[in-house]
């Protein structure tokens, strides 16, 4: 009996078991096989080695090592008192997937463990205020550098659906040569690695692989800080008074803080941040509103309007529908978290 093939545009290539035979296949966005490229009988290792060789060759032809750094922008949203950093993630299949070589050391040590899927990405830059005037300094990121390690990674903002953990984080300080490959920026940024327990979550791992191949893989991480400081920005656009308050007071007792922070008219400096739980996000091409409340829909549309430029900087393939879909997932992640 021949395997069933499906219609739809090809988004990536992967390994599937079809009719008791390991195959390398081109698949559509739903993960369904569109074309069988090669068959390997019961030899799964040979199939996966062939797939790894394909992607290694393709990446070597398509992109230099430093290119992912330029595309790895992230942005900050605020949902129900939670700060959520969102950026593009990459499913790692070879050393060339890492935007900077400092993040690749653990992959070299663990690459032989086929039970693990590796991911990498960039979460936040220092001294780069977002559209809401929120920012961290290089010293702040130095303080929070190791806090993501061992934090859980969940799937599609379901906080009880834990599929892996953050394994490494480093404060990267680009020198002039690296900065040239990073769009000219010499700002410090936080690079983060994670593993997914592929052997226990094969379906989720396959969807992550497909989304990464289609440049449609994101992750969000929750952040809190020790305090929030009200500041005036260097260009004078944001006007502050210098007052400083505990993080929880700013978000859960706003009447007790200064008028600048209440009215969002100042630059908000998040002092000594810590980075907590994260979520892998695979936004659909259009929002799936089934089961979503009107509150989630409205919040997603507002975020999309406000953060469109930042989301487009994270992934230049984003159109209006995909930006709204991504924001809907971020809103759902924020609302799934326990009170800060």
How many alpha carbons lie under 13 Å from residue 308 in its C-beta half-sphere? 9
Q: Is the pTM of this model over 0.95?
A: no
How many alpha carbons lie under 13 Å from residue 93 in its C-beta half-sphere? 23
Nearest to 219 by CA among 174, 146, 291, 169: 169
pLDDT for 244-255, tens place per residue?
A: 999 999 988 989
Please give the Cα distance from 227 to 141 (Å, whole number). 14
Out of 31-45, 158-172, 185-199, 274-288, which region has the weakest mean confidence (pLDDT)? 274-288
Confidence label for 291 from pLDDT (cuts 50, 70 and 90): very low
For the ranges 12-21, 95-104, 125-134, 312-321, the maximum mean pLDDT occurs at 12-21
Top-confidence residue, 31 or 24: 24
Judge contact between 102 and 332, C-beta under 8 A.
no
Helix (H, G, I), strand (E, B) or coil at 25: strand
Top-confidence residue, 179 or 237: 237
Tell me the pLDDT of the chain averaged across its residues.
Answer: 76
pLDDT for 259-274, tens place per residue?
A: 999 988 899 999 998 9
| Predicted confidence (pLDDT) at residue 304 exceeds the cutoff of 70 | no
How many alpha carbons lie under 13 Å from residue 187 in its C-beta half-sphere? 21
In terms of C-beta distances under 8 Å and separation of at least 24 residues, what long-range contacts does 148-151 make, across chains too? Answer: 148/123, 148/190, 148/192, 148/221, 148/275, 148/276, 148/278, 151/221, 151/275, 151/276, 151/277, 151/278
DSSP 8-state symbol, 259? H
Judge contact between 298 and 324, C-beta under 8 A.
no
Those residues whose C-beta lies under 8 Å from the C-beta of residue 270, and which sit 6 or more positions away, are: 83, 134, 135, 136, 140, 223, 225, 228, 247
Domain ranges of the chain: 12-62, 67-227+266-336
Confidence label for 92 from pLDDT (cuts 50, 70 and 90): confident
Pairing of strands 152-155, 267-281: parallel
């Amino acid at each position: 009996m021949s395997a069933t093939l499906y219609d739809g545009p090809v988004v990536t290539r992967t390994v599937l078991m079809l009719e008791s035979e390991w195959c390398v296949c081109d698949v559509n966005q739903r993960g369904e096989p569109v074309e069988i490229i090669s068959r390997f009988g019961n030899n799964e290792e040979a199939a996966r080695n062939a797939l790894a060789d394909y992607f290694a060759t393709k990446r070597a032809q398509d992109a230099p090592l430093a290119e992912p750094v330029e595309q790895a922008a992230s942005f900050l949203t605020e949902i129900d008192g939670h700060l959520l950093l969102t950026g593009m993630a990459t499913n790692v299949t070879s050393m060339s997937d890492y935007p900077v070589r400092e993040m690749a050391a653990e992959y070299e040590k663990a690459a032989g463990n086929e039970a693990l899927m590796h991911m990498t990405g960039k979460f936040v830059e220092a001294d780069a205020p977002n559209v809401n005037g929120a920012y961290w300094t290089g010293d702040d990121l130095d303080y929070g550098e190791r806090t993501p390690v061992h934090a859980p990674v969940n799937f599609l903002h379901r906080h009880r659906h834990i599929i892996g953990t953050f394994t490494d984080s480093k404060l990267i300080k680009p020198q002039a040569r690296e900065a040239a490959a990073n769009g000219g920026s010499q700002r410090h940024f936080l690079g983060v690695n994670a593993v997914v327990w592929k052997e226990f979550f094969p379906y989720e791992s396959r969807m992550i692989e497909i989304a990464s191949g289609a440049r449609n893989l994101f992750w969000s991480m929750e952040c809190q800080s020790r305090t929030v400081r009200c500041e005036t920005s260097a260009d004078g656009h944001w006007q502050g008074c210098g007052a400083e308050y505990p993080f929880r007071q700013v978000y859960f007792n706003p009447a007790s803080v200064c008028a600048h922070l209440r009215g969002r008219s100042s630059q908000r400096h998040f002092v000594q941040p810590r980075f907590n739980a994260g979520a892998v996000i695979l936004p659909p091409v259009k929002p799936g509103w089934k089961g979503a409340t009107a509150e989630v829909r409205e919040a997603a549309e507002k975020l999309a309007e406000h953060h469109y430029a930042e989301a487009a900087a994270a992934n230049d393939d984003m159109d209006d529908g995909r930006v709204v879909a991504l924001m809907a997932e971020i809103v759902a992640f924020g609302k799934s978290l326990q009170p800060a």
